[in-house]
Amino acid sequence: MREELKKFLQEEVNPSDEMWRENLQAIIDYQDADGSFKLMDSYQVPIDARIDFCHTPTYICSAILMKAFLTDETLLGISGEEILKDALNACCYVNLHGDRYDEGRGQMENIQMFMQAGVREFLQYHGRLCSKFSRMMENIIMEYRDKEAENDCPVEWEGIVHSINHYFAHSNVFVYGTLMRGESNHEFFLSNDWFISRAIVAGFDMYDIGYYPGIIPGEGNVLGELYEVPVDAIENLDGLEGEGNLYIRRCIPLTKETGEPAFASVYIYNHDVDGLKMIPESLQPYTAEWQKGAEDYVWYVSYGSNMLKERFMHYIEGSAFESGGAYHEPCEDTSAPLAVRQYDIPYDMYFRNNSGSWGGQGVSFLDITKAGHAKGVAYLISREQFEHVACQENGGCPPEYSNDWYDTVVSIGTMGGYEVVTITNSATENFNRPSDAYIEVLCQGLQEKYPGMTIPQIVSYLVDCGNRGA
């Protein structure tokens, strides 16, 4: 039952599907008088059984109800707020911890489960519904921030702790007017690094207000862009949009262009639209491009000198990174990456070969013969741009003709509906220590995209990489 509930949590909220509605109603009907969804008659059982069959089902069912409530508050019925409040209160007994043998990992898994449900947006827009749950989450968030800042967690948990902290330090924002790329307010208020994807919002109509558009609830669709914005930047957006007067910011469900659902803040016009001209979907930005699929773009993950964005852009725009360095031909499409992200690579990084660009010393490669861990920076670029970069890394020829250099394109999963790829050599030999200049660029790249890493942590990471194969 517990595993089936987890699968249901991952499903898209779909009120038009009769089976989905029946499953949601079955969960609501199963709620106990104390607000929980325990699979046993009593809490008077051994602690691990209590976690597995009392607390965990309550977390899953509460997350399902939260996700449905964020999508449409009416889905939980007339007593929806009370049902959800009781469920969230029942989640507060053991601080979301797991069993006594691995309670820290269990807590992280439970937090990630609520992240699937949109807990960030729930706390932002409905935190007063259950103050006990909100206080618990605030305390957990502060604890995790401290853990990362003080480097106080096992190495194998670092990636998860960082992803949790990143999630709560940001907020999804959907924009459809002057904040979009290429428009008047984009450069000052938003960063391309925050871009997630194009997106579509159903149940809204767009109107021409004058110098900018506005949307209100309606019958149509609105096309725009989805960004992951640092929480401290929201105040600036509120000021621009006249939040509370000209526009009202609220949470809505939307669909990314990859088909993946998400929740985001959006600014809704707060005045009468009588006499204003509606902008049909056919005239909105991106309408002509909407059919362009995820197969046209990839996340290219760099783990060497290209982690530094300035250096990576020399591969796209052409020219040499430094005076006397190797010249790179410009790509036909010289546009900047649509987004830039941290990326944990499941292979170890090491140094090999004799690079003429770096004093005849070693440069970064991945050991794909076994599982490992390396820090990378992912750039969302077109496949054409990726193919160009791969050739530039191999003296102008495609990877398959490069012999001792980057002869292998590695697919390492998907992110946000786009394939994640990198390049390396299929063999693990010709070890060679890197130059000081090369290490300096790696340090700059890690500092740029991993601001949470201290200098000693960066040095320790690179020393470990340098010791492989030495």
Domain boundaries, the chain: 2-168, 171-290, 295-467
Q: How far apart are CA 56 and CA 39, in angstroms?
A: 10
Of 246, 69, 256, nearest to 172 by C-alpha is 256
Q: How far apart are CA 55 and CA 91, in angstroms?
A: 7
DSSP strand pairing (195-208 vs 418-424): unpaired
DSSP assignment of 30-44: H--TTS---SSS-S-
Q: Report residue 76: phi and psi, to 5°.
A: -90, 5
Q: Is 417 left (phi over 0), alpha (psi -120 to 50) or beta?
A: left
Q: How far apart are CA 451 and CA 468, in angstroms?
A: 25
The residue type found at 438 is Y
DSSP assignment of 426-468: SS---B-PBPHHHHHHHHHHHHHH-TTS-HHHHHHHHHHHHHT
CB count within 10 Å of CB 389 equals 22
DSSP strand pairing (247-256 vs 339-345): unpaired
In a 10 Å sphere around its CB, with 0-12 CB exposed, 13-18 middle and 19+ buried, how is residue 371 labelled?
Answer: exposed
Of 395, 453, 393, 440, nearest to 421 by C-alpha is 393
225 is catalytic: no
DSSP 51: I
269 in helix, strand or coil? strand
Dmax (CA) for the chain in angstroms is: 75
208 in helix, strand or coil? strand
Give the model's pLDDT for residue 321: 60
The residue type found at 94 is V
Give the model's pLDDT for residue 452: 72
Binning the chain into helix, strand and coil, the percentages to the nearest 5 are: 45, 25, 30
Give the model's pLDDT for residue 170: 96
171-290 and 295-467 share one CATH topology?
yes
Structure pTM? 0.65
Q: Which helix (H) or strand (E) holds 410?
A: strand 408-415
CB 402 within 8 A of CB 394: yes
CB 51 within 8 A of CB 106: yes
Q: Report residue 395: phi and psi, to 5°.
A: 70, 20
Give the model's pLDDT for residue 300: 94
331 in helix, strand or coil? coil
Give the model's pLDDT for residue 184: 84
Top-level class of domain 295-467:
alpha beta
Architecture of domain 171-290: Roll (3.10)
Give the model's pLDDT for residue 314: 86
Find tokens 């200098």 and name the residue: 455
Q: How far is C-alpha 48 from the geometric centre of its chain's CA atoms?
A: 32
Query: Which residues face 216 on adjacent strands?
Result: 205
Residues of the chain under the 50 pLDDT cut: 288, 290-292, 323-324
End-to-end CA distance of the chain: 51
Select which of 121, 148, 241, 393 is catalytic.
241
